[in-house]
Amino acid sequence: MSDDLLQATEQRMAKSLEALERELAAVRTGRASPALVERLQVDVYDGHMPINQVASITAPEAHLILIQPWDRGNIPAIERSLRRSELGLNPSNDGQLVRIPIPPLNEERRRSFVSLVKHRAEEARVAVRNIRRDDLERLRRMEHDKEISEDQGQRAQVQLQRITDRFVEQIEEVAQRKEAELLEV
């Protein structure tokens, strides 16, 4: 019974780690990457959709992103959402596709992105700790309801802490890699 709970815990913590990696992929590093803009929401078809669902996104060069909408009527909406984003990008279009030049980052901007990475990493650590707290409560409830023995509960709590420590360490590694990437000139 407690083994099932620990497996579910590990899966939930893995999802938190994956979410962090997706969020950090969108943090600008001075190099063009489709991940930088693919999750931005565009107001099209009477609703909000991610750019990657209304256009193809490519990075043919290190400092250029090209967005080719499947419907050319969406170009103004795509440009608007890019200008409104916190990415500080200046898109232009030629009537068929949107070009986004990626300027090199200055030191101040790099530092602000590093603090953003630290903030997102802390949010992921908090999410992992919240998962641990919820599952620790479940274990204690199972122990109280005599579904598992006291010894099983103690062993499961130790395993739960090991799983938590492992994921917190992985989150730290992901954040440090991204920080190093950002500070690379």
Residues 93 and 147 in one domain: no
101, 125, 160 - which closes a domain: 101
What does the pLDDT average to over 158-162? Answer: 92
If one compares 53 and 174, the residue with the highest pLDDT of the two is 174
Split at pLDDT 50, 70, 90, the class of 133 is very high
Task: Check residue 88 and give left, alpha or beta (phi > 0: left; psi -120 to 50: alpha).
Answer: left
User: What angle separates helix 107-144 from helix 150-183, to the nearest 10 degrees?
Assistant: 170
In the predicted structure, residue 165 carries a pLDDT above the cut 90? yes
Tell me, what's the pLDDT at 185? Answer: 60
The rounded Cα 91 to chain-centroid distance in angstroms is: 23
Residues 97 and 113 in one domain: no
The domain that holds 47 is classified in CATH as 3.30.1360.40
The domain that holds 110 is classified in CATH as 1.10.132.20
Tokens of 181: 């990437």
Least confident among 94-103, 128-137, 158-167 = 94-103
Residues 47 and 85 in one domain: yes
Split at pLDDT 50, 70, 90, the class of 23 is confident
Q: Quickly tell me which residue has 């641990």 as its tokens.
A: 132
Residues 91 and 58 in one domain: yes
Extended beta strands in 39-171, E state: 41-44, 47-50, 55-61, 64-69, 92-93, 98-101
Residues 78 and 169 in one domain: no
Residues 40 and 97 in one domain: yes
Split at pLDDT 50, 70, 90, the class of 30 is low
Residues 126 and 173 in one domain: yes
Split at pLDDT 50, 70, 90, the class of 28 is low
Of these ranges, 76-80, 89-93, 149-153, 158-162, the one predicted with the greatest mean pLDDT is 158-162
Residue 10's domain comprises 2-25+106-183
Torsion of CA 43, 91, 64, 185, to 10 degrees: -110
Least confident among 39-43, 61-65, 84-88, 149-153 = 84-88
The mean pLDDT value of the chain amounts to 84
CA distance 129 to 121: 12
Tell me, what's the pLDDT at 1? Answer: 58
Tell me, what's the pLDDT at 45? Answer: 82
3-state secondary structure (DSSP) of residue 55: strand
Q: What is the pTM of this model?
A: 0.67
What does the pLDDT average to over 123-147? Answer: 90
Give the residue among 80, 51, 83 at the shortest CA–CA distance from 67: 51
What does the pLDDT average to over 72-93? Answer: 82
Split at pLDDT 50, 70, 90, the class of 184 is confident
